[in-house]
Structure 1
Amino acid sequence: MPSRRIPDLRALELKGLEPSRDANLSMVDNLYKIAESTTIETANWYLQRRISPSRKSKFLRAAAAISIIIGAVLPLIHSVAPSLIQAEWGFVFLALGGGAVLFDRTFGFSASWTRYVRAGLALQRALANSQIDYVKIYVGINPDSPSSSDIASLIQVVTQLREATNAIVEDETVSWVGYLNESVEELTRSTTRSSPTSPQIKNDERELR
């Protein structure tokens, strides 16, 4: 019987506040619902996006671990039973393990997985704090005749939520761009180190010396 994936913990909308007949307060409340909905959709997007890289990351890490273990055990088996298997096969499996790790680092599956989870949780935390702040102010005012300072305080909560959401998304994007550049540079260095030097180039280097 296939196992079911445990559902993610999703952020919830703020409900149960007394509706207001004041036009200004109703407008602010609608603004907060828009900001709240945007934050929830963004957090859910990150949590949904992390599923694919998490599976690929787990597969590559398992493949790397198994390959390295086999590569380390094969020389021992060869020492006990030389006719059973050649010790050189251990290097093959070690290379496969290293290739799986390099593949993961190049395409950033593990990094994307952790980055998406971190961004989703940060958005949920920002939303929860904002909902608490909004309720603290809302329950202390008269919904039908709020003061200008009350309206300003609620608008400040809305602004903080929008700024926190944008900051988290921007930080995640900057991290993604930085990791992408590092991966390209690392792949270029690996390719340069592994490319053989032709005999003609070696002869030219000797002549220059």
Structure 2
Amino acid sequence: MKSIPNILTVIRILMTPLFVICLLEDGWQLYAVLIFGLASLTDWYDGYLARRYGITSDWGKFLDPLADKILVLSAFFSFVYLGIVKLWMVMVIVMRDFIVTGLRSYNMRRGKPMITNLLAKTKTFTQMTMIIVILLFIALKSLLTQFAMDVGRYIEKTVSVMLHYEIIYAGMLLVTVLTAVSGLIYLYQNRDSLRRLASFVFKNS
């Protein structure tokens, strides 16, 4: 029982390459939606087990958010490759996660784990929601292209417009802003650890 959350986390990491392959392969996008949904379910379930039965470990505390970042960033970079999301938005997310993950690891070594704030939880929710919305649009577009009907073509064109213009851009802009602001709040709340870490890096560089 104690190892189940960590096993689920590893499974989530292993599912990520399969998710990316299905997302980028024409006609397989619906499978990508299902895989992402299943991966998200494992994330929820291992968290539930950890809270319900008090099953926690330092390894799990490090691996679980790492698995989430691998899955989320794989999705966003795939969207960039498909021309749906702007690269600069994803780079903001990457930089924030890189800095916060490094700071979190440093604090764990000092025995002072970082507490996830409300804005960070909101950021995670908006990221996951945006990914699911984009995946559903992609899957719908893929399905509609298989139907040789005028109505199907019209809907497919409408979905294509929604994928590449204001709706997706506005949603991703919100995600980017929340991600950046939550990262800045983390840095401010842990400014003492940040100074210590910076001092350590400079002394050993």
Flag whether TM exceeds 0.5 (same fold).
no
Which has a greater percent of helix? 2
- TM-score (normalised: structure 1): 0.39
- TM-score (normalised: structure 2): 0.39
Higher relative contact order (CA 8 A, sep 6+): 1
